[in-house]
Amino acid sequence: MTSGAITAAAAGTWRLGGLAVNRVGFGSMRLPQTGPAFASDAPPRDRHQAIEVLRRAVELGVNHVDTAAFYFSRLRAANELINQALSPYPDDLVIATKVGPRRDSSGGWLPPATPEQLRGDVEENLRQLGRDHLDVVNLRVSGPGPIAEHFGALAALRDGGLIRHLGLSNVRPQQLVEAQAIAPVVCVQNSYGLGHRPQQDEFVRACGAQGIAFVPFFSIAGGRREAGAGDDEPEAVRAVARARRATVAQVRLAWALLRGPHLLVIPGTGDPDHLVENVAAGALELTPDELARLDAAHLGVTCGDDGGGPR
């Protein structure tokens, strides 16, 4: 598949509340380091390369960037790279961040934020990004229990003007219902992809029926999570990629986008060439036969719930 001048607009748009975004966005988790995210020994990414990737993403029409204050390595922080690369921000750029997980200065994981600590986390994102408000803040849920206190704290910050829209990450259907009783939810951001957590298919459809964006992370890496994509691709994915002269990552992204018009992909990379390929995936149209083979591969692989550190 040739990439040419394909832009993020090729896959169409969706609205996060009142904010229109192209369905192919960019995830910043991999920007601070060259190895697996959150690995204490991962080498910091070259600053100039990271900034180049962010600016090129915007040139290619990406107007939805996902980030978090806990995305950092020894010498780099995703929010500060975004600030340096893109500020003053384009009027149509939507920056979505998440709060809940916390790390100490050495990168070790701390207990999740209490409801009282969430304001400080929001203000830290504001400081790092150089903004007076956040477009979208996702509450990253840490378990199956009630979330009303945490989500209510963010709703109060939205009412105070620090946040425009609210979302949820790593969430279960009953927690979405709980949150919606407090304030509107514009997006759900869960780990999901071809062959990864197919038990979420119904939740994906339910979000679409309610007009809620579903933003899958690890849509390329699947169960390998922060380690990135592996070599154990199903033959169906490889066959479609060969036939289309596309990468397996492009096939995976194209499949995800076909799960519904409310699917927003946020592939992350620190490689300028991979960025161009990821954006071009929005123009890859799968035939009914190809889609049927990929759907079968999706249902033939089962994965459990997330484990390990938060995304």
Q: Which residue is catalytic, options 14, 38, 70, 71?
A: 71
| pLDDT of amino acid 289 | 97
Tokens of 43: 């080498």
Look at residues 86, 43, 42, 40 and name the one whose alpha carbon lies nearest to residue 65: 86
Domains and CATH numbers, the chain: 9-299 (3.20.20.100)
| pLDDT of amino acid 110 | 97
Tokens of 76: 């780099």
Place of tokens 């390990």: 308
| pLDDT of amino acid 222 | 54
CA angle in degrees (0–180, nearest 5) for 291-297-300? 140
Q: Where are the alpha helices (DSSP H) in the chain?
A: 47-59, 78-86, 118-129, 148-159, 173-180, 201-209, 235-244, 248-257, 272-280, 288-299
Please confirm, yes or no, whether 89 is among the known catalytic residues. Answer: no
Look at residues 129, 147, 148 and name the one whose alpha carbon lies nearest to residue 54: 129
pLDDT in tens for each of the 311 residues of the chain?
544 579 999 999 999 999 999 999 999 999 999 988 898 888 999 999 999 999 999 999 999 999 999 999 989 999 999 999 999 999 999 999 999 999 999 999 999 999 999 999 999 999 999 999 999 999 999 999 999 999 999 999 999 999 999 999 999 999 999 999 999 999 999 999 999 999 999 999 999 999 999 999 988 965 555 444 556 789 999 999 999 999 999 999 999 999 999 999 999 999 999 999 999 999 999 999 999 999 999 998 444 444 334 55
| pLDDT of amino acid 306 | 45
| pLDDT of amino acid 218 | 83
